[in-house]
């Protein structure tokens, strides 16, 4: 799958169903499991945000497909705008599922989730060198030249996969 192939198919039920087979592996409690699961989902066709979030969704969770659909628009730096790295967005969603608040009377949980989110983002930026998809890839996917570089240098595997793994690692540490 290439950047130009990241179409509505990535968000479709068919692809979600196909990648569900990949996610039938043990959703682990270990760092390695989270990182490996996220990578497998990404290489299998889910976008970066879906892959990181998907690594933390329990098997058989009836919300799984809906949550993966929810994460879809966050891929490639939010709707392919190359802003906040989609893997980071997926990690924030995973953190929210485990630590976040769901009602107005959970202010302490919300504040704690905000703190953990900032810490996770700071650690990602320190280790990866940036938070933005464009900066991480070093090219503009909307331009012909940038897309050609993305393909020729195989940035999906050389940049995106390590970002997916790092985001999953940090989400596991903070969850």
More confident: 10 or 33: 33
The reported pLDDT for the residue numbered 29 is: 58
106-125 pLDDT, tens digit per residue, is 999 999 999 999 999 999 99
Rounded distance, CA 87 to CA 152, Å? 22
Token look-up 């509505």 returns 8
Mean pLDDT of 81-87: 98
Q: Give strand pairing partners of 84.
A: 132
Backbone φ, ψ for residue 84 (5° rounding): -55, 130
The reported pLDDT for the residue numbered 59 is: 82
Any idea what DSSP says for residue 156?
I
Q: Give strand pairing partners of 132.
A: 84
155-171 pLDDT, tens digit per residue, is 999 999 999 999 999 99
Non-local (6+) Cβ contacts of 4 within 8 A are 147
86-97 pLDDT, tens digit per residue, is 999 999 999 999
pLDDT at 8 > cutoff 80: no
Mean pLDDT of 130-145: 96
Task: Please say whether the beta carbons of 50 and 90 come within 8 A.
Answer: yes
């Amino acid at each position: 799958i290439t950047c130009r192939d990241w179409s509505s198919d990535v968000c479709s039920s068919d692809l979600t169903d196909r990648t569900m087979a990949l996610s039938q592996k043990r959703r682990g409690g270990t760092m390695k499991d989270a990182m490996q699961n996220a990578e497998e989902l990404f290489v299998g066709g889910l976008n970066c945000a879906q892959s990181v979030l998907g690594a933390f969704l329990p098997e058989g969770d009836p919300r799984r497909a809906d949550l993966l659909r929810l994460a879809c628009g966050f891929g490639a730096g939010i709707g392919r705008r190359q802003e906040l790295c989609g893997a980071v967005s997926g990690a924030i969603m995973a953190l929210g599922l485990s630590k976040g608040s769901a009602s107005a009377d959970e202010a302490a949980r919300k504040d704690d989730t905000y703190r953990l989110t900032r810490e996770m983002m700071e650690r990602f930026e320190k280790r990866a060198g940036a938070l933005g998809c464009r900066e991480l890839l070093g090219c503009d996917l909307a331009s012909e030249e940038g897309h050609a570089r993305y393909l020729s240098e195989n940035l999906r595997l050389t940049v995106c996969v390590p970002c997916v793994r790092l985001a999953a690692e940090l989400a596991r540490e903070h969850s």
